[in-house]
Amino acid sequence: MRQRKKQKVLIVEDDKFMLDALMDVLKEAGYDTQGVTRGFDAIREVERTPFDLIVMDIKLPDIDGVETLKKIREIEAKREEVSKGMIKLSKAMIITGYASEESAVQALRLGAKEYLYKPFELEDFLKSVKKILEEEAEVVKMEDLQGRIQALEAALKEVSESEKKYRDLAKAYMRLWSKKLFEMKKKEKKEKK
């Protein structure tokens, strides 16, 4: 059985105590977890490596979480341009003790799947992370299945085209031998006369 790749989670939280607690919970649950306390550090991490999920605090010491997420989306779009494939956006989850309707709307527009208000229970946090990443896993499974279906359709089309070629070849062969047989019988009749 193939072992599933650990999902990568980046936590951006300026409270070091909270950051450590969130990282510990996710590591215990089997996630590959990195943590930073500043928005610009998060941007640098995403430039280096893609993440499956980014957990983002809104209030950060350098730039706010929404602006950080906006810059991360720009990096992910550039990464897509280089690979010429489908954009692979990290899932996003906002955690904050300073909620505003405006920041919630902006975060949702940038693709945040969850918006947790501090204080929250670590168990609730973990459930939210699992829910978001399970949705991602289902999307990946669907994409994998769609890819396999397309490959099978292409193979069937190829077989069908090959089958048609073989049928056409067999017909041509039969015509040739029928003609040859006809000529041989004709020649045989001439020889008998």
Give the integer Cα–Cα distance in Å for 118 and 65.
Answer: 15
- Show the low-confidence residues of the chain (pLDDT under 50): 1-3, 87
* 105-135 tens-digit pLDDT: 777 777 788 888 888 899 999 999 999 888 7
Q: Is residue 119 within 8 Å of 21, Cβ to Cβ?
A: no
- Confidence (pTM): 0.66
| pLDDT of the residue at 17 | 96
Q: Which of 22, 29, 13 is nearest to 134 (CA)?
A: 29
Q: Which CATH superfamily is domain 8-148 in?
A: Response regulator (3.40.50.2300)
**pLDDT of amino acid 16:** 96
The predicted pLDDT at position 185 comes to 76
DSSP lists the bridge partners of residue 55 as: 11, 93
